[in-house]
Every structure is written in C-alpha cells, then in structure tokens.
Structure 1
Amino acid sequence: MTCDMMQIFSLKLAKSPIKSASLQLYGYIAARDDFDSKLNYVFRRSRDAPIIAQQGSMIEMTGPKRCIAFFCDVLLEFDMRVKNGEKGEDDVQLINGVLEFQGLFMRWEPAKLRIGGSCGAVDMSFAFVNDAVTAIVEVVVSEVKNGFDLSLTSIISVVEVPEEFQLFVGTVRESCDLRKFVIAVTVDSMLQLKFLVGNIGRSCSFKAKLNGYARRQIMLDFASISVKVTWMAWAPA
C-alpha cells in the first residue's frame, strides 16, 4: 500500500558563527516516524570526519536510509556542532533540539524551515508527498576515461507542482558507485533524473509503481552511467 511521506530536499548552513571563513561541521539531523520510531538519519557526520562548510553553502545529505512515513506526526531531532580545536569540549554548538511536525497542521506543499540555534542556523527545504511509494535510486559510473564534473538532480511532483532538488554534485575521476538515494514519489506519477556531465545534459524518467524496478543506461564518449530505480510500497506489520 502507499502512504504519505515526508521528503527533505536540501539542507543549507544559513547562519554561521564564522561568517567569512570555512568551518568543520559535524553531528546529525534525523527523523523519527511511526514506522519503527528509530532515528532515520538525514545528515550524520562524526567529529573525526566533519564536512567543510561556510555560511550560505549547501550541507551534503547522507540519508535518509528509508523514506520518512507520515502517518500522523514526525519528530525531527538534531545536534550539529562546529569543530574547534583538539578537544570536543571546545567545540561550538550550532543547533540542538527537537521539532514536531503534526499532520493536522501541515501544509501539503514545498516549504522551508529555519532551524535556529544560539550560534547559527540551518535552512531545511521539505514537503509532504501524498499517496507515495519509495524510490531507491542507484547510480553506477563505469568505463571512466577522463575525470569529469557530475551533477544529479531529481524532479518529483508535490501537489501537482514539480519540485527539483539536487542529489549529488562532485568530480568523478574513476569508476564508482554513488550512494543510494531514497526519494518519496506519488504512485503513478513520474520521477525524472537529470544528469549534467561537464556541459552535457542527459535525463531519464521512471513511472512510480508499487513494486518492481527499472534500469536506464547513459552512454558517453568518456564514461558510462547506469541507473536503477527500485520501487517499494509501505508494508504494514
């Protein structure tokens, strides 16, 4: 069966304690839903492996591992810090706390939320997707002859309004698997993936189904990109 889901599109460091310089950011942002009440990490970095960010830059998401079911309420928990020196007690708390999204009071359209703290803020772009299934997107880059810049974005419909968001941006120098991307898509609607490889644009579309999978292959002169989308409906216990 399908269910309503929460889709987080992006995270951005909106306010930094050091405005003009890069900083090392770590911690987590995670959701809890009624599926199993466990933490479903949207962003998670240890102190030993922080990301480099500055005010106004996007924060690369590392999850979620599964879609965020929205049966009634969703809790968003967060604890993000700025690394400052050798010891953890010297670090600066960026944001810390819990937010509750209540189904009766949510607007079913793309929205932005500022999560503020005493020393900074993170902007989150999100939406609730009704009658949704889970798309697990796997991308394999192979036969790489030359390094190239790769950008991958996704387009889904939220209340019949197309919403485009970035999944990956970076430089590919050798054959690799990108991390799996988990996306909530309304059943029978279209999921579109757009690839920008250097200055070459390619796209492929997939119709959301209750189950099954589909593959696409993008052949370039200097690399091959294989895309697999697996569809999963929510299964009640």
Structure 2
Amino acid sequence: MLHSRRNLYRSSRSAYESFLMARNIAVHGRMKPIGPNQLPYGNAFFCTSGNPLGEQVGITKGKDRAEASRETKKLNVPSAFIFTNSSHRDGSIYKNSCLDVFCVKKRGETQLEPMRISDPANCFPDQKRCRVHFECDMMQFFSLKLAKVPMNASSVQLYGYIAARDYLDLSLNYIVNHSRDNPLMVRQGSLIEMTGPKRGITMTSPVLVEYDMRIKEGEQEEYDLQLIDGATDFCEVTTPSHPFTSQINGDCGAVDITLAHVVNAVEATIDVIVSEVRSGFNLSLGSYVFVGGSYQGIELLRDIIGESCVITRRYVIAVEMDSWMHLKLMVGREGSKYDDLERHCRFKANLHGYAHRQILLEHASISLKVTWSAMP
C-alpha cells in the first residue's frame, strides 16, 4: 500500500512541476540555469552579487508584504515565497488547484509515528545493515523566531500552527500548534518553542509548509491580529543542505524559519524524563547535529521545573547517518542563569537501536533515551 501511494504521489508531481516552471517563468521572465553566483533557496533563485545572503526575486502578497520584504532585504534575511491565494482564513487555499497535489483539504494530523520497528531477520549477517530500511533525505527545522510584531508591542500572545506535509501521508505534521485558549507568550526577536515534528519529515519530494498564526488581542477572536497565513513549498532539489533562514511576512508581523535539507538522514527520537525532583530549577536542553559540513544547534527544551514535578517530553530530529548527535544539558537554580551546571553526552546515528543515559543531579534525576529509526 505504501509503495502504491508513493508511486501515485510521484506520478502526480508532473502537474506540480509544470506549475513550478510556469511560476519561475512568471517571476524571472525566462528560465535561467543556476550560475556560479546564484544560490537556490526553496524554489526561487537568490542572486548573491553584492549580498552574501542573497536577494529574492519572488512574488509577495499585497503592498504591506512587499514593503515588509524590502525591510527584510535590508537585514539580509530573504523573504520566503508565499503561494498566491493560500490563505486559510478566507478559504482560498482550499480552492487553489496548484496545491491539490499536497491534499491541503486533508486537515487531520499525521498518525504515523517514527519508524521504530526492527526485526533481526531483516538485518544482514554483520547486523550493521538492514535489508528493509535505509537512510533518506529529510527536512530539519532548526528554529522559529518571532521577527516582527505590530508597533508598541514588545511581547505578544501567539496561537495557531506551522506544519509540514511530505509524501508519506500528506497529513499535517505540526512543528508548533497552540490553541487560542493556550497561547504562547513570545517577545519580539525571541524563539518560538517548537513542539514537533511528530515524526521525521521526508524530503525525497517537495515539502509544503503551511502556517496560520494569530496574535491574541482580547477576549473576542474577532479582534485578533493575523501574524502569518499561507503556504510555502521547499523543493528537494534546490533546498540547501546547510541551515538557511527565510522570513515569512504576514499582515501583522513576520516569522523567521531556519531549516535545512539533511542528506542520508535517519530519525532520532529523544525521550526526556525528569523525575525525583527535590527542588525547583531551570532546565535547558539542546541538540547539536552535523549538517552542511558543521555542527548546528537546536533548542529542544527551556523550562522551569517545579518541586514534586515529573515531566516527559519527546523530540524527533533528522541526523546524518554515521554522524554523532550531541546533547547539551544545562541546569541552574531557580531564578538564576542556566550555566550553573552543564552536562554533555553524544550518540552515534544508526538505522536501528537505542542508547540511554541517566544523569543524577542534586536537583533531580534526568533520563535521556535516544532511539534510532529509518524512514521507509
């Protein structure tokens, strides 16, 4: 069933690729090959002449977004391409035939978990390779940042979602998802805590990133402000294999997303359990993975742990096969900085298997378990 679904998806891409060609012709006037002074970002080209981070030649939606795009260029952060007529609030995204290949009318969350099943019978005699599962290219989000908010607002209450759709089942794989009743308090220029993805994001075909985030302004939803709303695609051929940042400009602000195309990757599922808490403390956990020739950090957890508290968190990260993933744990007394105590551990990426670390501290016991799995 999986293979038939994959073949159906790949065969349906011809219409999508025709659309991409038409879009590039519309944007650039004519198709041009990628030259030595050009870098591909998503499906648009950015000329690096005179600007080390590039300048987008793309389409923006409306006068405000065009002005926001010009401001973004001054900061050397390229603006993300946003599909025309991809708003969720007015329903235009559901009528956009260019997005039919991504099944945007399918609103459910992905039910697929990380591919953990391992059968020794599927392994070759050396037990190091699997007959069934192999590493594959994946997308990894490194950070989300609230880049801009309306004037006179240093911090805002955010709700809504950012999610990815890949070929596995085309359902929503949430990177962040908060209801209006449970908004996030975020300051301008600060990171937006990522709660996902639920499983790895495959990048053997284009990936669609959908978003609909709003700023809570009062008791009534009608007074809320639209932060970002739309959809952006990232092509497996042109998305860089090193982390890069694009800015999604909306009606009332902007969000910076940093991601990369990780080649020959496997899934790392990180389970964190904090127990036996004897006193309150600050906890920070970061992951460092090798991508694009260097190690890059991902903030996983930053929280205040109260007394008599047990927390359980799970994170899924794309890690290049045979590379090392480092976890950095920082603990501080409640009300102090995070650098009072620091612990490091590392795990080597593999197709299957798991490793466990138990860290006993004065404040609590922290269990770290990393389970490796490969995408089908």
More strand by share: 1
Higher relative CO (CA 8 A, sep ≥ 6), structure 1 or 2?
1
Q: Deviations over 1:67-91 (max 9, x none)?
A: 1110120000000001122222221
Aligned equivalent of 1:69: 202
Aligned equivalent of 2:358: 217
Q: Normalised by the size of structure 2, how large is the TM-score?
A: 0.61
Superposition deviation, residue 54 in structure 1: 2.2
Q: Deviations over 1:51-74 (max 9, x none)?
A: 111211211111110111101200
User: Moved runs in structure 1, 4+ residues, more than 6 A?
Assistant: none
Q: Secondary structure at the match of 1:79?
A: strand
- Partners of 1:13 and 1:58 within 8 A in 2: yes
Alignment RMSD, CA only? 1.1
Q: Secondary structure at the match of 1:95?
A: strand
Aligned equivalent of 1:117: 250
Distance 1:196 1:178 in 2: 17
1:15 and 2:168 equivalent?
no
Aligned equivalent of 1:101: 234
1:84 aligns with one of 193, 202, 217:
217
Superposition deviation, residue 160 in structure 1: 2.5
1:189 aligns with one of 305, 319, 323:
323
Aligned equivalent of 2:83: none
Superposition deviation, residue 47 in structure 1: 0.7
Correspondence list, 1:19-30, <5 A = 19-30=152-163
1:179 and 2:320 equivalent?
no
Deviates more, 1:209-218 or 1:168-177: 168-177
- Partners of 1:19 and 1:55 within 8 A in 2: no
1:200 and 2:333 equivalent?
no
Correspondence list, 1:40-55, <5 A = 40-55=173-188
Question: Percent of pairs identical after alignment?
Answer: 51
The one-letter code of the counterpart of 1:71 is T
Aligned equivalent of 1:4: 137
Superposition deviation, residue 153 in structure 1: 0.6
- Partners of 2:246 and 2:257 within 8 A in 1: yes
More helix by share: 2
- Partners of 1:141 and 1:176 within 8 A in 2: yes
Deviates more, 1:186-195 or 1:82-91: 82-91
The one-letter code of the counterpart of 1:39 is L
1:229 and 2:362 equivalent?
no
In structure 2, the gaps of 5 or more residues are 1-133, 333-339
The one-letter code of the counterpart of 2:353 is G
Going from structure 1 to structure 2, the CA distance change for 1:11 and 1:107 (only over 3 Å counts) comes to: same
- Partners of 1:19 and 1:54 within 8 A in 2: no
Q: Deviations over 1:153-176 (max 9, x none)?
A: 100000221101211111111332
Distance 1:230 1:177 in 2: 19
Deviates more, 1:12-21 or 1:113-122: 12-21
Aligned equivalent of 1:158: 291
Distance 2:236 2:184 in 1: 33
Q: Secondary structure at the match of 2:219?
A: coil
Distance 1:166 1:63 in 2: 12
Q: Deviations over 1:105-160 (max 9, x none)?
A: 22211111101112100011111111111000001111211111111010000022
- Partners of 1:15 and 1:122 within 8 A in 2: yes
- Partners of 1:13 and 1:59 within 8 A in 2: yes
